[in-house]
Structure 1
Amino acid sequence: MKPFAEIDIENDGNYLKLLSAVSKISGLFSESAVPFINYRVAENIFCKSFKANNLSRSDTAFDADFNSIGIGLKTFISKTNSSTEKVAEFNSLSRDLKNYRGKELALKLGEYRNERINLANRVYNIKSSLYHIVARREKELLLFETDYNRIDIANISSVKSNKASLQFEDGHNFYSFNYSKSTLFRKFIIPENAFKLPIDIIEDPYSLLLDLFSSNQYKSATDKLVKGENYIVLPLYGIKKKEKFVFEKSGLNQWNAGGRKRDIGEIYIPIPIDIHKEFPNFFPERDETFNLEIPTGEVFEAKVCQDNSKALMTNPNKALSDWLLRKVLQLKEGELATIEKLDKLGFDSVIITKNERFEFKIDIMKTDSYNKFWK
């Protein structure tokens, strides 16, 4: 496909204009001649300009979905023709990764990295992927695209290690892994034909802001996420003796419960009692149906049910299991969901959002998101 800078120019778009505008007020944050752009701002500008679906909230492998193309967005300072940048964190798997060294560790990292990419492909129906890069240099931005390949496990070579890190190649890219931070990095090469956007940083951005807000020509934000008001986070696990576990006979494994005969697709997402206590008006009343949209855009009929409204289910219930157990977790019928499986994929929670029309959406959330929700 064409470079995004070219697409923006051909359609007289706002992407380059917004990048330039944000860069010009870098003096608010730094005295450097290198433009400052916060990575979240860069993500939001991209998604707004190209009407892409912003995936950064769920923190999956991709930052945006542009017409079923998974986009990894990176912005970084680069004084040379390359930069090594973080591409994945494996904090939830750090104890497991400590059991490997050398090429075995490289192979395991390749496996886990590829699993995360495959997960995002399944959740968001991604057909292809690429990285869009905004490299920052003195008085200019360099924009370009590059591959977003899985790690070619069969061709891992040139494995080197020291006390702090591991380095390896896969015939396409160079990677390094930091032991203490459980973080995987990749080297990005800036091509000679990268699009160059000149930037003149404003000398006094403070005066500009004073002029802007004195005019009152702006609208206040009304669609921000407010905890308990338009979003909550639900865990897919329980905790016993400070250790996480997935219930064997309830929740994601409700189909495995005893008593009456159960359908193999019978599951629910647990709603902790604390959610109802703190945010009693978030969900509709028990057994009252509402629409629940999954990341692919498909809409299910859902409700909260069971004692103490402890369960989020769909009708038919199989719709939820087909999405979460079969498509996302890729569990076979009769295979138990486990915390180990969730850790491997890098998520253990879901986020539920709603709008003023009481239309609900669900998406996966990275490991420990439920704990962070309460902080």
Structure 2
Amino acid sequence: MKSFAEIDIDQQGSYLKLLSAVSQLSGLFSESAVPFINYRVAENIFCRSFNAENLSRSDTAFDANYNSLGVGLKTFVCTGNSSTEKVAEFNSLSQSLQNLKGKALALKLGEYRNDRINLANRNYKIDNSIYHIVARKEKELLLYETDYNIIDLDNIHSVKNNKSSLQFEDGNHLYTFNYSKSTLFRKFIIPDSAFRLPIDIIEDPYSLLLELFEENKNLKTSTTKLVRGENYVILPLFSTRNLKKIEIAKSSGLNAWHAKPRENQERRPYGEMYIPIPQEIHKQFPDFFPKKDSPFNLEIPTGEIFSAKVCQENSKALMTNPNSALEKWLLRDLLQLEEGELATIEKLNKLGFDSVIVTKENNENFKIDIMKTNSYLEFINGCSL
């Protein structure tokens, strides 16, 4: 495919214009001649310009979905022709990694990294993937695409250890794992063919902003921003009875099918499950969900829409009708559990998520997506996205 710079030029789009405009305002944040672009701003500009789905909120392997092309977006300062950048964090798995060394550690890191890429592929129906890079140098941006391959586990070699990190190659790229941060880095090499976008940083961006807002007194106020508890909540996929020892209950929540069978039942159907809605959610945000047993639409990331409702005692459960719809998406497609296999917190940690975000358009229409590990705990303690 063409580069995104070429696509933007062909379509007479706004991507390069917006990148240039934001870069020219770098004086708001830095005195350097190297343009400053916050990575979230770069992600938002990309998604707006190419009408791509923004995935950055869920902290999945990809930042955007462009027509089933997973896009990892990287913006970084680069003084030479390469830069080593973070590609994955494994904080929740640090204990399982701490006793591994050398090639065994490299293989486990590759396994975890690949699992998370494949999870994103399944969740968003991604067919192919690439990295889109915005490298920042003095007075210019360098834009290019490079591969977003999984790590080739059969070709790991050149493994080197030191006190602070592990380094290895897989025939495609050089990777470095920082022990203390439980973070995996990849070396990105800037090709000579990268698109060069000259940037002249404005000397006094403050005056420009004053003029802008003076001339545009009736700028439209946003009504689509996420407001904690108003148009989104985050729910745990684990039991909240004991937050000092987080686990998934063996006979409720995702494993409700494993509970004692009801009268005249030999066993409960494997598809029987629900996402827990802790009482703290109802206490803090009593009007977020419709009343108990009132059906509403629930859209998953693939675009499929389920009929859902809040049900059970104390409105503790988010379920779908049929219940097997939610089970297929979450337990089969994402976690890839076999029929009769229990969901565990270890499985969630390996894939890097333990929560879901539910966003609300109105009382009839909601959306759901996965969220990174610890998202519910941060949310219930007052943190916003």
Q: State the match for 1:148 in structure 2.
A: 148
Q: Quick one: distance in 2 between partners of 1:358 and 1:303?
A: 10
Q: State the match for 2:350 in structure 1.
A: 344
Look up the equivalent residue of 1:230 and give its one-letter code.
N
Asked if 1:224 is matched to 2:225, the reply is: yes
Percent of pairs with identical residues: 72
Q: Deviation digits for residues 298-356 of structure 1, max 9, x if unmatched?
A: 00000000000000000000000000000000001000000000000000000000114
Q: CA deviation at 1:221?
A: 1.3
Q: Deviation digits for residues 219-264 of structure 1, max 9, x if unmatched?
A: 1111000011000000000243711100100000001110313211
Q: 2:303 aligns with which of 297, 302, 314?
A: 297
Determine helix, strand or coil for the equivalent of 1:341.
helix
Determine helix, strand or coil for the equivalent of 2:203.
coil
Asked if 1:90 is matched to 2:90, the reply is: yes
Determine helix, strand or coil for the equivalent of 2:283.
helix
Look up the equivalent residue of 2:222 and give its one-letter code.
A
Look up the equivalent residue of 1:362 and give its one-letter code.
I
Q: Quick one: distance in 2 between partners of 1:148 and 1:369?
A: 26
- TM-score computed with the length of structure 1 as normaliser: 0.99
Q: 1:253 aligns with which of 247, 255, 258?
A: 255
Q: Quick one: distance in 2 between partners of 1:15 and 1:50?
A: 8
Q: 1:357 to 1:287 in 2, by over 3 A?
A: closer
Q: State the match for 1:9 in structure 2.
A: 9
Look up the equivalent residue of 2:122 and give its one-letter code.
R
Q: 1:311 aligns with which of 311, 317, 320?
A: 317
Unaligned runs of 5+ in 1: none
Q: State the match for 1:242 in structure 2.
A: 244
Q: Quick one: distance in 2 between partners of 1:72 and 1:350?
A: 21
Q: State the match for 1:119 in structure 2.
A: 119
Q: 2:270 aligns with which of 257, 264, 271?
A: 264
State the 4+ residue runs in structure 1 displaced beyond 3 angstroms.
none
Q: State the match for 1:174 in structure 2.
A: 174
Q: Deviation digits for residues 275-304 of structure 1, max 9, x if unmatched?
A: 001100000000000000000000000000
Q: Quick one: distance in 1 between partners of 2:93 and 2:36?
A: 33
Q: CA deviation at 1:217?
A: 4.4
Q: Deviation digits for residues 133-179 of structure 1, max 9, x if unmatched?
A: 00000000000000000000100000001000000000000000000
- TM-score computed with the length of structure 2 as normaliser: 0.96
Determine helix, strand or coil for the equivalent of 1:184.
strand
Q: Quick one: distance in 1 between partners of 2:16 and 2:220?
A: 23
Q: Quick one: distance in 2 between partners of 1:58 and 1:344?
A: 16
Determine helix, strand or coil for the equivalent of 1:245.
coil
Unaligned runs of 5+ in 2: none
**What is the number of equivalent residue pairs in this alignment?**
375
